Structure 1
């Protein structure tokens, strides 16, 4: 099976394309100077350019077998941010669709060196920023399907918390174990001066956590990505400081 995803890689490619079109459609009707509340310091135009640039980084990574040193960072003269986004979306979707998800590709996650990694990563990158732009436009963001949200919870915990933080050399200030429960699945996270890890766990393992966080898959997905406040989830029991540390560390991992 390709990668670590909880849903079929064909589904993730479909989500990538659909969410990219939603993002582009929202960009079409949103002035480029509108602030993006969930991304402090960014305007809507900067967000759209960022996503278009990410698509080109990935295209270069796949072509070169490593993170590229050079790529098109911004629209060409006369090209709008929306056109820049759509051009990158079409090119990357075509490239990912040309390769079997199990096919080897360089990535920044040792647990998954396949094209499937990039299908998953781009599906969630695009979904999260689509939510950002819809908020900026003053609209209630479209719902995220439950299977996609569950996979996004797993990616946020396993990839960003468990892999990205150690890559950056970032750790917690105190030991704390937090279980995250949603949609019939549970994850256990451990953070502290000596470890930052996360994995899918059993109910028995979760009972040993210092705190348990729960909510619907969409609530937990948005909360882990900093797109929803603490009122959106439930701390069933335990150490609220450990929960706060989990959330703060994810902000450092995903900034």
Structure 2
């Protein structure tokens, strides 16, 4: 069962989650620390989403399919004298431009990304999850958390495990070790299977990677018949998505199975990642 949403649904979520993100931060002390990013304030979070995320992906879409480089793309500089209202207005401008650009870009169009998916569909999906998690950051900062959409969160489980923790460049070779973890979103009746293993390969700069612990999302038809997972992790889609993104603890999440396999899985998935 796929967790993927339609491009239209992803775009709708980008609109609604952006609006919620903005509304929450508009009523928040700009100096309030962000619990999930202690080095940031609410104002820093607002600037990050507007200027460092949505501005960048707008540029990617507008100049498709060329890859951005340090010579062709310049990140906006944050004015030292900008007020919080200035930052909110800046977000409004960049967010509107980003959404309009997405509306004018077909998901099938060739577009650069840092993933193997070189179409605009990647941006639709990635940015729906990006703003969902940063909306949660804003709400945690304000102390006003609201539910995450279950269908989007279920897809978020697959995305973080497959694209971030399980994603590999072309030069990398994954060898499965026959240990499986199944992540069950109980409210959406969706499951994500993960195999633990090792990755090796030679980077473009010549450096070698040899048998480093890694994981890979696998479909059920790739798993030998009769195989049972070594570990099952259960929770609601929203709880699991936020937990994997290190936005909440494991309260309410049920784990059964081999303790060592679980601890190996958590060591691989409990790391800071770049989520843009």
Settle same-fold status: TM greater than 0.5: yes
Q: Of residues 212, 222, 228 in structure 2, which corresponds to 1:208? A: 228
Write 1 or 2 for the structure with the bigger share of strand: 2
8 Å CA contact 1:6, 1:151 repeated in 2: yes
Offset of residue 176 of structure 1: 4.9
Deviation beyond 6 Å, 4+ runs, structure 1 = 202-206
Q: 1:131 to 1:242 in 2, by over 3 A?
A: same
- Residue 157 of structure 1 contacts residue 199 of structure 1 at CA under 8 Å; is this kept in 2? no
Distance 1:232 1:58, change over 3 A: same
* C-alpha distance in 2 between matches for 1:206 and 1:32: 54
Distance 1:93 1:60 in 2: 12
TM-score (norm 2): 0.78
Matched, 1:125 2:123: no
Which residue is equivalent to 2:203? none
Note if contact 1:49-1:81 (Cα within 8 Å) is conserved in structure 2.
yes
Number of equivalenced pairs: 244
Instruction: Please list every run of 5 or more consecutive structure 2 residues that lacks an aligned counterpart in the other structure.
Output: 200-213
The alpha-carbon distance between structure 1 residues 67 and 120, as it changes in their structure 2 partners (threshold 3 A), is same
- The CA distance in 2 between the partners of 1:252 and 1:73, in whole Å, is 29
1:161 touches 1:253 (CA, 8 Å); kept in 2?
no
Deviations 1:19-38 (A, max 9, x none): 00111111111111111112
Deviation at 1:44, TM superposition (A): 1.2
Quote the offset at 1:99 in angstroms: 1.3
CA distance in 2, matches of 1:253, 1:204: 32
Whether the 8 Å contact between 1:181 and 1:213 is mirrored in structure 2 is yes
Please give the per-residue CA displacement for 1:11-69, whole angstroms capped at 9, x wherever unaligned: 10010011001111111111111111122322111111111121111122223421342
Q: Residue deviations 1:168-196, cap 9 Å, x none?
A: x9x9xx98531111222221212344342
RMSD: 2.7
Task: Give the TM-score normalised by structure 1.
Answer: 0.84
